[in-house]
Amino acid sequence: MNLDFRELSGGVNQSGVRDYNERLILTVLQRRGPTPGADIARITGLSPQTVSTITRRLEKDKILRRGHPIRGKVGKPSIPMELNPDGVFSIGLKIGRRSAELLLLDFVGVPRKQLFTSYDYPFPDAVFGFLRSGLQKLLCDQPIKARERVCGIGLGTPFELWRWHDLTGDAAEKFRSWKDVDILAEVTAVTDLPVVVVNDATAACHAEQLYGRGKEFRDYAYFFIGSFIGGGIALNGSVYEGNQGNAGALGSMRTTGPLGESHQLIDVASLHLLEARLVAADVDPRVMWQRPQDWSSINRYVMPWLGETAQELAKASLSICSVIDFEAILIDGAFPTDIRDELVARVSRYLLNQDKRGLITPSIHAGSVGENARSIGAASSPIFRQFLLNTNAGLSMN
Are both 213 and 361 inside the same structural domain? yes
Are both 162 and 284 inside the same structural domain? no
Are both 236 and 321 inside the same structural domain? yes
- Which one of 83, 114, 144 terminates a domain? 83
CB 137 within 8 A of CB 130: no
- Report, in this order, helix, strand and coil percent for the chain, each rounded to 5: 45, 20, 35
334 within some domain:
yes
Are both 169 and 255 inside the same structural domain? no
Measure the N-to-C terminal CA separation of the chain; round to a whole number of Å.
31
Number of separate domains in the chain: 3
Are both 182 and 326 inside the same structural domain? no
In the structure, what pLDDT confidence band is assigned to residue 72 with cuts at 50, 70 and 90?
Answer: low
Residue 284, Ramachandran bin (φ over 0: left; ψ between -120 and 50: alpha; else beta): beta
- Which one of 46, 67, 83 terminates a domain? 83
CATH code for the domain of 33: 1.10.10.10
DSSP 13-82: --GGGHHHHHHHHHHHHHHH-SEEHHHHHHHH---HHHHHHHHHHHHHTTSEEE---B--SSSSPB-EEE
Extract the runs of DSSP E, i.e. beta strands, from the chain: 35-36, 64-66, 80-83, 89-95, 99-106, 111-118, 150-157, 195-199, 220-225, 229-235, 238-239, 254-256, 262-264, 328-333, 363-366
Tell me the pLDDT tens digit for each residue of 342-354: 999 999 999 998 9
Are both 244 and 146 inside the same structural domain? no
Are both 230 and 313 inside the same structural domain? yes
In the structure, what pLDDT confidence band is assigned to residue 191 with cuts at 50, 70 and 90?
Answer: confident
392 within some domain:
no
56 within some domain:
yes
CATH code for the domain of 296: 3.30.420.40
pLDDT at 168: 60
- Owning domain of residue 366: 205-374
- Which one of 83, 104, 134 terminates a domain? 83
Are both 24 and 121 inside the same structural domain? no
Are both 243 and 362 inside the same structural domain? yes
Distance of alpha carbon 157 from alpha carbon 338, whole angstroms: 26
388 within some domain:
no
394 within some domain:
no
264 within some domain:
yes
Q: Residue 22: name the closest of 31, 12, 32 by CA.
A: 12
Are both 228 and 361 inside the same structural domain? yes
For strands 229-235 and 363-366, give the pairing.
unpaired
pLDDT at 167: 56
pLDDT at 16: 38
384 within some domain:
no
Are both 173 and 226 inside the same structural domain? no
What is the C-alpha R_g of the chain? 22
CB 278 within 8 A of CB 298: yes
Are both 172 and 211 inside the same structural domain? no
Amino acid at 78: S
CA 381 to each of CA 91, 337, 378, 394: distance values in angstroms, whole numbers, following the listed order: 9, 25, 5, 18
391 within some domain:
no
Tell me the pLDDT tens digit for each residue of 316-326: 999 999 999 99
More confident residue, 45 or 259: 45
Tell me the pLDDT tens digit for each residue of 268-314: 999 999 999 999 999 999 899 888 889 999 999 999 999 999 999 99
